[in-house]
Amino acid sequence: MISAIPAVQRVVIVGCGYVGKRLGLALRSRCDVLGIVSRAASLAGLEAIGLPGQGVDLDAGAPLSPDWARDAVVFYLVPPATDSESDVRLAHLLNGMRRRPRLFVYMSTTGVYGDAEGSEVTEQTPVNPLTARARRRVTAEGMVRVWCTEREVRRVVLRVPGIYGPGRLPLGRLATREPAVRVEEAGIGNRIHVDDLVSACIATLDMPDARGIYNVTDGSPMNSTEFLLRVAREAGLPEPPQISMDEAQLVLSPSRLSFLNESRQVSNRRMLHELKVQLRYADVDEGIRQSLAEEGQGSSGSGGR
Ligand SMILES: NC(=O)c1ccc[n+]([C@@H]2O[C@H](COP(=O)([O-])OP(=O)(O)OC[C@H]3O[C@@H](n4cnc5c(N)ncnc54)[C@H](OP(=O)(O)O)[C@@H]3O)[C@@H](O)[C@H]2O)c1
């Protein structure tokens, strides 16, 4: 990893959950880290791993101290609430940020690109959100762009695909034998191992010229069934039953289908060339093996698409 810019002394991770905790642990030896979460149980989780935390429920409009962001690098990792077309959590945070941070990093999703029918998308590709979830992200990216431009704050948006890692492998789906769409019919998609995502976050802080949008993927696009089969093989579990796309429309949840209905290959060239991220898990089998090893093989993970 590239050496730190000495002047960065404070990092605030708003939404210090799965990714945020690993980011905080990676950064705490070089600067002060504060993790913001909404629930008491999550605050206790931060305490348990030795990360300073603060409880702020952005849904409740809880006040933030006026100075909290002054000169800090802010990573914003809170997903939008699902009961609005906008992102009221982010709006509340931006409205309450009276002091300028030195850098604002917003974690978005590659869902903003919608369906590209299997072709490549880059940061220049126009957004085409097909779901309410993706529309909220486009709105949120726009809010961050306006807020940062008006205040001359350096802004980075990381567009992230399915995150996997220890505790985030689809072992639960394999255990319940949830069917998967046949490999030859499933659309292509992208992933990132959580530790490579953390490296990309840290690179935004280390590269003072980094600004604008970066896709963050492992550069190994493959469909979700292929990924599931690889996890099954590495974990020594039976392969899932495979069904046609037509059958999937009848038996899978709307949420799962919304991912299956989109197909694209997200380019990571800008991330590699400008953020100089050195991927540890460009080989997805390596990433799966590391994840299984860290979680002690056998605990059932959640998430993972
Ligand atoms: N999972 C994926 O495959 C994927 C793909 C692309 C992008 N992303 C996005 O990447 C980001 C990080 O993902 P993650 O897996 O680390 O998410 P996560 O584990 O769900 O963490 C989300 C964090 O946001 C906090 N939060 C939620 N509601 C809040 C509120 N009202 N006020 C204050 N804090 C609140 C949570 O705190 P509490 O626990 O206290 O509520 C938690 O610390 C998220 O925005 C996620 O949507 C995820």
Q: Tell me the best of 33, 59, 77, 262 to mutate to test the pocket of ligand 1, counting ligand atoms within 8 Å of each CB and taking the most.
A: 77
The alpha carbon of 102 and the centre of ligand 1 are apart by a number of angstroms equal to 22
- 299: pLDDT strictly greater than 50: no
CA of 75 to the centre of ligand 1 (A): 12
What distance in angstroms lies between residue 78's CA and the mean position of ligand 1's atoms? 4
177 lines ligand 1 (CB under 6 A): no
70 vs 8, more confident: 70
193 close to ligand 1 (CB < 6 Angstrom): no
Name the burial class of residue 63, with classes exposed (0-12), middle (13-18) and buried (19+) by CB atoms within 10 angstroms of its CB.
Answer: exposed
CB of 109 shorter than 6 A to ligand 1: yes
Among 22, 47, 78, say which to mutate for ligand 1: greatest number of ligand atoms within 8 Å of CB.
Answer: 78
Q: Is the CB of 37 under 6 A from ligand 1?
A: yes
What kind and span of H or E run contains 286?
helix 284-294
Lowest mean pLDDT among 59-68, 90-99, 146-155, 236-245: 59-68
Give the mean pLDDT of 71-99. Answer: 93
Answer yes or no: is pLDDT of 4 > 80: no
Is 160 a pocket residue for ligand 1 (Cβ < 6 Å)? yes
Region 155-163 average pLDDT:
98
With a cut of 70, say whether residue 298 has pLDDT above it: no
Q: Is the pLDDT of residue 170 over 50?
A: yes
| Other Cβ atoms closer than 10 A to 251 | 11
Say whether pLDDT at 64 is over 90.
Answer: no
pLDDT of residue 98: 87
Strand locations in the chain, DSSP E? Answer: 10-14, 32-37, 53-55, 73-76, 103-109, 120-121, 154-160, 162-164, 180-181, 188-189, 191-193, 212-215, 222-223, 242-243, 265-266
Q: 8 CB less than 6 Å from ligand 1? A: no
Phi/psi of residue 251, nearest 5 degrees:
-110, -20
CA–CA separation, 28 and 59 (whole Å):
28
Mean pLDDT of the 156-173 span? 97
What average pLDDT is seen over the chain?
A: 92
Question: What is the model's pLDDT at position 3?
Answer: 44
Report which secondary-structure segment, H or E, holds 296: none
pLDDT given for residue 48 in this prediction: 97
In the predicted structure, residue 240 carries a pLDDT above the cut 50: yes
The mean pLDDT value for 296-303 works out to: 48
pLDDT for res 52:
96
- Report the separation in Å between the CA atom of 223 and the middle of ligand 1, taken as the mean of its atom positions: 24
Mean pLDDT, rounded, for 197-210: 96
- Angle (CA) 12-17-21 rounded to 5° is 65
163 ligand 1 Cβ < 6 A: yes
The superfamily (CATH) of domain 10-168+190-219+265-283 is NAD(P)-binding Rossmann-like Domain (3.40.50.720)
Helices 284-294 and 224-235 meet at what angle, rounded to 10? Answer: 50
Q: Sorting pLDDT into bands at 50, 70 and 90, what band is 7?
A: low
Instruction: Inform me whether the pLDDT recorded for 244 exceeds 90.
Output: yes
Q: 278 vs 83, which has greater pLDDT?
A: 278
For residue 38, give the ligand 1 atom closest to its CA. Answer: 40
Q: Domain map of the chain by residue range? A: 10-168+190-219+265-283
Note the pLDDT of residue 297: 52
CA-based torsion, 216, 219, 220, 223: positive or negative: positive
Q: State the pLDDT at residue 261.
A: 87
